[in-house]
Amino acid sequence: MEPQKILIAGSWETSPTLHEVRSPFDGRVVGTTYLASPDQVERAAAGSIAGFAAMRALGAWERSAILRTTATAITARREELAALLSAEAGKPLRDALAEIDRGALTFRLAGEEAERMIGETIPLDLNAAGKDRLGITRRFPIGPVLGISPFNFPLNLAAHKVAPAIAAGCSIVLKPPSADPLIMLKVAEIMVEAGLPKGALSVIPTARAEADRLIDDERFRLLSFTGSPAIGWKMKARAGTKRVLLELGGNAACIIDASAQLDWAVKRTLVGSFAYAGQVCISVQRIFVHASIADEFERRLVAGAATLKVGDPADAATDVGPLIDDGAAARTSEWIAEAVAGGARLLAGGAALDPKSPRLFAPTILADVPRTARICSEEAFAPVVLLERFSDFNEALTAVNASRYGLQCGLFSNDLAHVRRAFDELEVGGVIVNDVPTYRIDNMPYGGVKESGLGREGVRWAVEEMTELRLLVLADPQ
């Protein structure tokens, strides 16, 4: 198999440095691509200037057509792309297929949004100085965008940077994750075939030092990063005058109120806790369950976790695939051991299924975890969920907010007063009622507060972030 070329300002190129992409499940080589050289990184950045000029010259219908054609092509190649994504990301095949569908939807939504970039008229005659004057606003593309995307959704989270940028009329340089860059290189091929102007898109797997230079580069007018809070906030500190969008992580919570429909709550929290081995920014990590139903909820959750199949992501029956690498597995084991040593009760899992395959980690349930334990206070990004009981709804709200993070929170409740209080008082970007915080649809605003992020994704809101509002004032000369 020929190595996958990388896209540098509209040209498909090789480089002196080959990069093997290996399966997180069994270590086999899934494919090979190249790491962009310093010269290629510079040409991608320089090319984004010309690419921006080309994008600005396109009409809304042309940008929309490129994005809609891309969406259609992704859907047409659904099985092929899902197999690649599953292999390089270690994502169970059913989840990989779902991500391909979501990626196509994101491009389609962006195609629609390209046609909906409207302004407004503003009456200025609020006093005599505004007589015979009218204000008109319009959004203009901000300029070249730098996108840095993570390994856990290598297509759709990259699409949430690339598609809105194109819809807005921007050019974009994307640094995909080193662990699984192949899927976005394939999507880039589709976009070029759809008629994307030269220089409008570069996709450059590269060393971290080269990515750091791009973050410093003032030719980019916006940085969009999805990844860990520790890295994201450091990037913001060095980004200079750029606008910065950060979609970071957290230790997402879920409240199971006394009025919850228990069967549904258990079913959804199993999915929200263990899908993709917990490697989701909004994976359920902390569950606060009312004392009146806690024993039964705990029993059902433990029983449900025991039914989940952990194994080969290519097997259609697999529920939980591997962690991304051995380092993630070692960290997870260390944090669990720390919690147990601090008094936590281990209810399920707690270790790899086979010491020879440390990445295949058993779905783990802990109770009575000290809030200072790292498995509670930090982002676990692993198939681990913690149970804690509460007697009063105030306790649950306070416990959820006792975190540096605030991305989304789930609330299972049929008490409207509790729902309204949660919406008013929870310090999060989204409150998901009668479902898990892991719920996300690609046309909704998505982002966090506190250390979980800055700005909002979701195609409409990302397009807004990638544009500048400009005012025109018309005066009628007397």
Are residues 135 and 126 in contact, defined by beta-carbon separation less than 8 angstroms? no
- Kindly state the greatest CA–CA separation across the chain: 85
Q: Out of 247, 378, 457, 464, pick the active-site residue.
A: 247
Q: Out of 88, 113, 170, 281, pick the active-site residue.
A: 281
What is d(CA 138, CA 426) in angstroms, rounded to the nearest whole number? 34
DSSP 3-state of 139:
strand
DSSP 3-state of 370:
coil
Six token digits for residue 377:
């206070």
Are residues 165 and 140 in contact, defined by beta-carbon separation less than 8 angstroms? no
Six token digits for residue 184:
């976005």
Kindly report the length of the chain: 478
Active site residue 247: yes
Q: What is the DSSP string of 377-443?
A: HS---SSEEEEEEESSHHHHHHHHHSSSEESEEEEE---HHHHHHHHHH--SSEEEETS-TT---TT
Question: Could you tell me the strand order of the sheet in which 120-123 lies?
Answer: 120-123, 133-141, 467-475
What is d(CA 153, CA 166) in angstroms, rounded to the nearest whole number? 20
Question: Residue 226: beta bridge partners?
Answer: 247
What is d(CA 349, CA 321) in angstroms, rounded to the nearest whole number? 15
Q: Where are the beta strands (DSSP E) in 69-199?
A: 120-123, 133-141, 145-148, 172-175
CA angle (404 as vertex; 375, 330 as ends), nearest 5: 25
Are residues 410 and 266 in contact, defined by beta-carbon separation less than 8 angstroms? no
Catalytic residues: 247, 281
